[in-house]
């Protein structure tokens, strides 16, 4: 069967940003071509210094991030999302697509994706697996929308929600993806949630996941951006997106925060931590907690005292 290979070519310095964007919607996995330290890697991995000329001729100043779409997934739905997020990031890029024959990767996921405990109260469980636990279970299968709990940015957010949700909160999830953060908050006791995403495919997926987890009556998912879809004020606001998008939306967040509200920003590579912290501060938000995991950063903020 033929899968679609979507490749993003960027300068080496922008590799982390491109990888973060690809990760947001990856399903079949991500493969990164980076030959900048080819000789060193060859020696460390295989203890050889004899390398094929074809590899030696590869460019050293660019990185290619590959992402794979299953045969039943429509690239026309995914490519605009990539374009939107790549343009918002401000980096130069080249986007290409190609067909590739491959095994049944959709089922191969099941070898690697298993139930996992997160924080003190949550468990993320794939639909095909039975998991005997007293924790609050979120049923989530790998899909085209980002957010199954396996990625560091998502798990950092879930760990914060696990500690913060006490019950009866109103939640806004910006860039909702799979809807996992809003669903987690609802199953932990939040009163209601709204999810906003620019991609209609993500909105459909989030709605399906809400139905699967029995919270669809309290979860409203909308296509659009923060400025024209959010309504009223919220006790918890989450944004697991990318640094550039967080910096762009930050000035609009304080007006959406109820008294004592918390804003959780994630999807930030560690190299941009200070830049994001400065942007949040300039927007009237105070960072009260910063958590990091394997190169990714999650920031919890409160509104500055007026």
Answer for the pair 129, 114: CB distance below 8 angstroms, yes or no. Answer: yes
Q: Which residues of the chain are modeled with pLDDT < 70?
A: 1, 25-29, 37-57, 72, 77, 100-113, 142-150, 226-228, 305-306
CA 188 to CA 254: how far, in whole Å? 24
pLDDT at residue number 40: 61
Check residue 278 and give its pLDDT.
97
User: From CA 103, how far away is CA 118, in angstroms rounded?
Assistant: 31
Q: What are 293's strand-pairing partners?
A: 296
> Has 154 been labeled as part of a binding site?
yes
Task: Write down the CATH number for the domain with range 2-107.
Answer: 3.30.70
pLDDT of 30 = 79
The SS3 of residue 52 is coil
* Strand runs labelled E in the chain: 2-11, 30-34, 62-69, 93-101, 116-118, 122-125, 136-139, 170-174, 192-197, 219-223, 234-240, 257-269, 285-293, 296-303
- For position 266, what pLDDT does the model report? 94
How many whole angstroms separate alpha carbon 25 and alpha carbon 5? Answer: 13
Q: What is the pLDDT of residue 145?
A: 47
Q: What is the pLDDT of residue 23?
A: 77
Q: Where are the domains of the chain?
A: 2-107, 113-303
**pLDDT on residue 44:** 46
Query: Does 37 appear as a known binding residue?
Result: no
Gap between the Cα atoms of 65 and 161, Å rounded: 31
**CATH superfamily, region 113-303:** Vaccinia Virus protein VP39 (3.40.50.150)
Partners of 138 in the β-ladder: 124
- Whether the domain at 2-107 and the domain at 113-303 fall into the same CATH topology: no
286 alpha carbon, distance to own chain's centre? 23
Q: How many Å from the N-terminal Cα to the C-terminal Cα in the chain?
A: 59
The pLDDT score that the predictor gives to residue 16 is: 86
* Beta bridge partners of residue 287, listed in sequence order: 301
């Amino acid at each position: 069967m033929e899968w679609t290979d979507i490749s993003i070519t960027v300068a080496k310095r922008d590799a982390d940003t491109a990888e973060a964007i690809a990760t947001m919607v990856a399903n079949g996995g991500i493969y990164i071509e980076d030959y900048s330290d080819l000789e060193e890697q060859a020696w460390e991995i295989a203890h050889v210094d004899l390398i094929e000329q074809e590899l030696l001729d590869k460019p050293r100043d660019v990185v290619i991030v590959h992402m794979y779409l299953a045969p039943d997934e429509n690239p026309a739905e995914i490519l605009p999302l990539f374009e939107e997020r790549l343009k918002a990031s401000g980096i130069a890029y080249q986007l290409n697509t190609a067909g590739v024959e491959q095994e049944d990767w959709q089922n191969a996921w099941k070898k690697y994706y298993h139930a996992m405990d997160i924080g003190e109260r949550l468990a993320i469980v794939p639909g095909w697996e039975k998991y005997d636990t007293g924790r609050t279970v979120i049923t989530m299968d790998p899909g085209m929308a980002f957010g199954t709990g396996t990625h560091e940015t998502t798990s950092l957010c879930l760990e914060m929600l696990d500690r913060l949700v006490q019950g009866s909160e109103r939640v806004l999830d910006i860039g909702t993806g799979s809807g996992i953060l809003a669903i987690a908050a609802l199953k932990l006791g939040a009163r209601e949630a709204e999810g906003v995403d620019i991609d209609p495919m993500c909105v459909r997926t989030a709605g399906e996941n809400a139905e699967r987890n029995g919270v669809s009556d309290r979860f409203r998912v909308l296509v659009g951006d923060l400025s024209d879809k959010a309504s009223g004020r919220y006790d918890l606001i989450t944004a697991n997106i990318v640094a550039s998008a967080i910096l762009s939306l930050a000035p609009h967040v304080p007006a959406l925060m109820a008294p004592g509200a918390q804003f959780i920003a994630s999807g930030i590579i560690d190299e941009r931590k200070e830049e994001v912290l400065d942007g949040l501060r300039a927007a009237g938000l105070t960072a009260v907690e910063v958590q990091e995991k394997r190169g990714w950063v999650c920031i919890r903020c409160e509104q500055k005292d007026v």
